[in-house]
Chain A
């Protein structure tokens, strides 16, 4: 065994340095993406279980492994297998290349954004200075998947729904961008690692307190941005057939759903990083660094993210759907003014050195 490892190491050092970097980067990407895709699959299971519990149902409980039902844990795998076996029907007169490109464009940005998200101190794929800008840019191109899917389907229903969903996403993106400007002002950095370090020192130092309105706007806009209930008019499962993906079937259809869940995880992770201190422990300073609950670790980050994912599902089980004009009114006439006003308040607080900006 040892001989095998030394042999492998010898081969490794024989490789040119460029190759070593390339292989390391690819390995890191795989290490991030494989657990992420598993999470995406199991968020669907989690959603059905949580909503089932809230509606006093059982939820999926049959499909297991090797004859054991295991609370239905095999369900996502079975769903994935089923969807992969199905035929992808391509509508006549549709733009075939764009029709197949659209699902890719909708899931790509949701996965690529993870390149700059830190899981723990220093545990990040690329530690770039403009991380926040990169996130903003990538979340803004997710809308192309929706629009292209609607247009390439060559269907009136699909294109109308794509326009609705596109307008909604573009509207809420502005509020999200402004909310992140508040985070940027509070931390003084575009690097996500530095944004988190600026929140160090226990739960009272997290940005959620001075930026409470921005936090609420950011998270609610995140729900609207991912087209989730109560803002899911693009899909409206109980009212209309489906949205922009009405012509899609099989795996092409499933990828839109994977993208939706990947976006849920992304928005939850971003909210916990920007406003709740990411990997930082809330009891930091109270318990001391050697206590297990006082140390900052990746577990806190996962816990906070999981809480926000739960909120997404909780909203879906709780709130009735918004009407489309109400969605647009909320985005343009409530959220954007709120963020602008709070940016002014924050600027005054920074200049007057009030609260967290006291020297």
Chain B
């Protein structure tokens, strides 16, 4: 009973927050609604006994990705009125995408998909004991059966990291900065030139 109540509370929160993401005028508010929806989603995953995934969702998406995302959104100078101009123009495209997505979800979750997602199959899921470690089980599978895809994914991430650093590592020739050791080693003759000239006399 209580689990059902918690489930409906967090699902409702998730739906409201997701609505907030697309409805709010201010992009920072949208980003914060997205954070809230991640939280609600993570609570739902906890109810499914997927505590590793739930906490990782908060750790990675809320703790790192959305922080950087907020940084970008806060620094942008966004004109809200300008953003709303294209609404009617883009509406058909958006509606088309939405219809396709809903159709796909109905196809997968609905009765068409055999017994993967229908009610009977779902009720058979097992409740594990309190000492069952979700993290350990995931780790076992990840480093044995799926080790190759896992390593490929990590390699792709590594490439992305190096690419991001390479993109920002540019040294402009016009940048001026001090090199203290050169400043110390400077001799008088590098800076000063004594010339001989006749005295100038004003006429």
Chain A residues with CB under 8 Å of chain B are 18, 95, 98, 128-130, 133-134, 136-137, 140-141, 143-144, 147-148, 151, 159, 163, 166-167, 170, 173, 190
Contacts and interface: CB of A to CB of B under 8 A. Distances in A.
A104 to B, nearest CB: 13
B63 interface: yes
B103 interface: no
A140 B71 contact: no
B18 interface: no
A158 B34 CA distance: 23
Given A128-B51, A151-B74, A141 B28 contact: no
Interface residues of B, number: 26
B59 A130 contact: no
Contacts of B58: 137, 140-141
Given A130-B134, A190-B135, A18 B2 contact: yes
Contacts of B133: 129-130, 190
Contact of B55 (A134, A166, A170): A134
Nearest to A130: B51
B116 interface: no
Contacts of B52: 130, 133
A140 B64 contact: yes
B68 A130 contact: no
B203 to A, nearest CB: 57
B44 interface: no
Interface in B51-66: 51-52, 55-56, 58-59, 62-64
B183 to A, nearest CB: 18
B55 A133 contact: yes
Contacts of B13: none
Contacts of A128: 51
B74 A137 contact: no
Contacts of B28: 151
A229 B69 CA distance: 28
Given A166-B67, A170-B68, A130 B55 contact: yes
